[in-house]
Chains A and B, each alone.
Chain A
Amino acid sequence: MTQSRLHVPHPPARPGEKPDFSYLDIPPAGREARPDTLAAALEIERLGTGMVRVLDEHGHAVGPWNPHLEPEELQVALRHMLLTRHFDDRMQRMQRQGRISFYMKSTGEEAVAVAPGMALQPGDMLFPSYRTQGLFIVRGKSLVDLMCQCLSNTRDMCRGRQMPIMYHWAEGNVFSISGNLATQFPQAVGWAMAAAIKGEDRIAASWIGEGASAEADFHHALTFAAVYRAPVILNVVNNQWAISSFQGFAGGERRTFAQRGPGYGIPGVRVDGNDFLAVYAVTRWAAERARASGGPTLIEHVTYRAAAHSTSDDPARYRPKEEWQAWPLGDPVTRLKEHLIGLGEWSEERHAALEKELEAHVTACWKEAVSYGALTEGPALDPVSMFEDVFHEMPPHLQRQREELRQLLAARQAAADGTGGEG
């Protein structure tokens, strides 16, 4: 008699064990062919199992995917990625000091936001995940604005209603970040369908983690995108870890995430997510395809979540501390920096000066941001504003509740002033 047995995925290494990334198939840079942007999904299935890489181990840009960007553009890219990193580091420290309630860093995966952000047009709509803050930085949102959101202060774009990092920017064409997973993926498809219905040349792009690809919304996104050939780029950021669950728990053990695309009739492209040039080139390819009515592309960015999931998380409990050092695709900032140095367009001195400049910039922004108040001190939003924007027009029951809170706050103030009432 035979008996079935459950398979339970195991990550290659747990705390105290030696990091092991031998499960990753990493071809040499420059190997993958660059197909025509309108090639049929099934003809280019190989792109889902290989890996588009442009920067080789010496920092040279090689192969057909090299986007041949000007040095000035690469310097801007380096600046965006470094600024994202300095911003993250500062906000993490401010959370540790109790100035903000929560934070999520994107350290080690800055390229998966900054490169697509630069490769797309300003009118293209971005549906970010909570770890793609680089998109806001590329689009030019000021750090002060982002910090004010994290501080829930008087300049908070969310008016105190959202946890830190749940930014949005309507003028910059960046959608609202949701705390719920994967919801933005099919929404991006709907936005893209609308662009096509209206006859625009704008496209949409969205990002989710590989862990969130287990949610049904991932399937909804791919089905709708495929059925209508929506002009959308669907990015799966495979950073290996979803809190404590390694990518095998999202189904990454036997197939790449990019390979899911062809199952729906959508090209799937696996890209070295820590290679700025490769991510840029693949995004450009997918954007051209989308704008030419070729439909959606699923892109898997292979990267590594160097930081904790969030400030509430302690990854030392579930993965080796040295994993980030052992990560075979390196650090996107270092790799782009070395490429620029190799081109003779950058130097360690200029890099150090840039780091210093950005750190000073972040400090100045923080000083300005806290001058508009912090969660527990300084100028504060009026609590009665919480009743606004539940509906376009406030219904009577909310008006009554707002009045009740107003009276409660007045009584509390009177008690604090020593004029009676109670707290």
Chain B
Amino acid sequence: MAQMNMVQAINSALDVMLGRDQRVVVFGEDVGYFGGVFRCTDGLQRKHGEHRVLDTPIAEGGIVAAAIGMGVNGLRPVAEIQFADYIYPAFDQIVSELARLRYRTAGDFSAPVTIRTPCGGGIRGGQTHSQSPEGVFTHVCGIKVVMPSNPYDAKGLLIRSIEDDDPVVFFEPKRIYNGPFDGDPHKPAVPWSTHPKGEVPEGHYAVPIGKAEIVRPGSEVTVLTYGTMVHVAEAAVRLAGVDAEIIDVRTMVPLDVDTLCTSVCKTGRCVIVHEATRFSGFGAELSATVQEECFWHLEAPIARVTGWDTPYPHAFEWDYFPGPARIIAALRSVMEAR
């Protein structure tokens, strides 16, 4: 085992897969010589060669389209979109092509593409470096959608994504690249070495896609969340003094309905937390699923704590970010409901 932050864990996953499987290629803007603007591909071009770790032109649509072509021709491409906020020029290639290729050719063509992209706010990035667009991609049939919340899961899930025969959009919450974040920007940064999930095996292992994880067992209320908000929810639950069961969803598509709903049926209460905007956000899918599966066990209306339905405002980052205060308020209201 080694201590790794999330950047190192992602780097390690790519390194392991480039080493094990000659079909794996890694590319994106500034990914090759420079090693990525967040350093996730640092050293990989030197080690695996410039024909397997490539810089690309600045063209997200081109990056994903080329990945599809490579995937069709037998490679396992891992494409980086530098910020999730810049993924939209590739939207047509993802939605109309990547997601549907297997379906429209009755399985004769498919492209096992993994698209890695940093997402989320809390870094003073304003509206073009802070978005959480995972919900947009969960609405597209034919792509898997993953978002890890710690280094161990990041490496295991990324390896599993690259090995998966279906396309995966792999969101990396950049606020927690270097350490878990409890939602208080005024506290000193905490490194991953303080967290058990900062312990990461150096070799190959996989975390299954489609499995949620109970990160804190509890009996009074279930908190469904993922990404950065797992850590914010943990802090809020501590402050609220509620015996909450916190579940890290980890994979949005396919969704681990069993783990989620077994918990809610047990606790009878549910709070859903995500950084993304609320309206038609992934929380709406979670809420509908819980309502359908757990209706007779619910003792309170399901609550959602999310980003407001506005673009991400630069100056009001911490009034926008759904921090501990809002999660605590939701926990209280759900606990008080009778």
Q: Which residues of A contact B (CB under 8 A)?
A: 6, 8, 14, 101-102, 152, 156, 158, 160-163, 166, 178-181, 211-212, 214-217, 242-245, 249-251, 312-313, 317-318, 375, 380-381, 383, 386-387, 390, 397-398, 401, 405, 408-409, 411-412, 422-423
With both beta carbons as reference points, the residue of chain A lying nearest to B63 in the complex is identified as A214
Whole-angstrom distance between the alpha carbons of A398 and B86 in the complex? Answer: 26
Q: Are A214 and B59 in contact (CB under 8 A)?
A: yes
Q: Are A422 and B51 in contact (CB under 8 A)?
A: no
Residues facing A in B16-41 (CB within 8 A) are 29-30, 33-34, 37
Q: Are B37 and A312 in contact (CB under 8 A)?
A: yes
Q: Which residues of B contact A (CB under 8 A)?
A: 29-30, 33-34, 37, 50-51, 54-62, 85-86, 88-89, 124-129, 278-279, 308-311, 313-316, 319-320, 325-326, 328-329
Whole-angstrom distance between the alpha carbons of A245 and B33 in the complex? Answer: 9
What total count of A-B pairs have CB within 8 Å?
126
Known contacts A14-B33, A180-B128, A412-B325: does B56 contact A215 (CB below 8 Å)? Answer: no
Q: Are A160 and B129 in contact (CB under 8 A)?
A: no
In the complex, which residues of chain A have a beta carbon less than 8 angstroms from the beta carbon of B33? 14, 244, 318
Q: Are A101 and B58 in contact (CB under 8 A)?
A: no
Whole-angstrom distance between the alpha carbons of A317 and B34 in the complex? Answer: 7
In the complex, which residues of chain B have a beta carbon less than 8 angstroms from the beta carbon of A408? 325-326, 329
Q: Are B58 and A375 in contact (CB under 8 A)?
A: no
Tell me how far the C-beta of A42 lies from the nearest C-beta in chain B, rounded to whole angstroms: 27
Which listed residue (B55, B60, B316) contacts A160, Cβ 8 A? B316
Which of B34, B85, B86 has its CB near the most chain A CB atoms (within 10 A)?
Answer: B34
Q: Are A163 and B128 in contact (CB under 8 A)?
A: yes
Whole-angstrom distance between the alpha carbons of A180 and B82 in the complex? Answer: 12
- Given A102-B124, A161-B311, A179-B129; 13 other pairs, CB 8 A cutoff: A8-B50, A178-B128, A179-B127, A181-B86, A211-B57, A215-B61, A216-B62, A217-B89, A245-B30, A249-B56, A317-B34, A387-B310, A397-B279
Known contacts A161-B315, A180-B86, A375-B315: does B125 contact A216 (CB below 8 Å)? Answer: no
Q: Are A390 and B309 in contact (CB under 8 A)?
A: yes
Whole-angstrom distance between the alpha carbons of A321 and B314 in the complex? Answer: 33
Whole-angstrom distance between the alpha carbons of A398 and B308 in the complex? Answer: 8
Q: Are A8 and B58 in contact (CB under 8 A)?
A: no
Q: Are B29 and A386 in contact (CB under 8 A)?
A: no
Q: Are B126 and A243 in contact (CB under 8 A)?
A: no
Which listed residue (A179, A180, A244) contacts B30, Cβ 8 A? A244
